[in-house]
Amino acid sequence: MLCARIGIALTLVSLIGTGCTNEVEASAKTGNAIDLAAAANEAAADIGNYAAVAAVPADEQAAGDVVRGMFAALVDRRWRDARLDWRDPANMGRVERERDGYERFIAEVGRAVADRSVDAMTVPLEIVATAAGGRQMLYTGEATLQRGRSGDRAWKIERIDLSPAIPVRVDAVYRCADGRSLTVVFDNRRQTALADMGRTTWRLEQQRVASGIGYSGQGAELRGQGRDADWRVPGQPPLRCSVT
């Protein structure tokens, strides 16, 4: 509809510019009068809206680049450079402390999303931090950016909210009620698990549950709370298992 109105407006402008008034007069005689002023005003508004929408991807890219640049400085421990990307550098404290505690610190920056207005953006984050001994921890969260409504329009980081760190990989061995062992390798980054019992391996996908853990796939299901879990596979009764 937007493109159609813009096309109509451009046609009308062309008619006016070339002096083609006969067609307009003919339309008026048949009762199909064209309100040129209203059409032009409506099309101008549509063109303005179209331009504003088209500009959003550039804003998303710019906001994402600020976050990527800040984390690049953090990785190299260039604290002063990293602080330049914050509206209030004092808010960088937790992120700086977290990075300083690890040997490696890799941030994956997602696509920025406008937050109610084009002057605020949120950018999803996923951080994999590696300790000196090789243990990897996973953080997820988001960065919130703002820019001034006048004057300096550069994007600045307002805050970064991160979840508590969890291990990227967790290996667990369950002892089940029938005496068999169930070995599960949890991949918290990919939100998957590999469950092995005997000579059979199942690939499970993490499921949304109210509390505890929930994974299912290939007909199998693992649900648990704390150290206990229920293991179900097709054709067999459910098993109660506990981490050894």
For residue 176, the model assigns a pLDDT of 97
Query: Does residue 149 carry a pLDDT above 90?
Result: no
- State pLDDT tens for residues 109-147: 999 998 776 789 999 999 999 999 999 999 999 999 999
Which amino acid appears at position 59 of this protein?
Answer: D
- Mean pLDDT taken over the chain: 83
Alpha-carbon distances, residue 188 vs 126, 138, 196, 212 (angstroms): 11, 8, 17, 14
Confidence of residue 153 (pLDDT cuts 50, 70, 90): confident
pLDDT greater than 80 at residue 81: yes
Q: Determine the pLDDT at residue 8.
A: 41
CA 8 from centroid of its chain's CA atoms: 38
Count Cβ atoms within 10 A of the Cβ of residue 182 and give its class: 0-12 exposed, 13-18 middle, 19 or more buried.
buried
Please count the CA atoms within 13 angstroms of the CA of 55 that sit on its side-chain side.
9
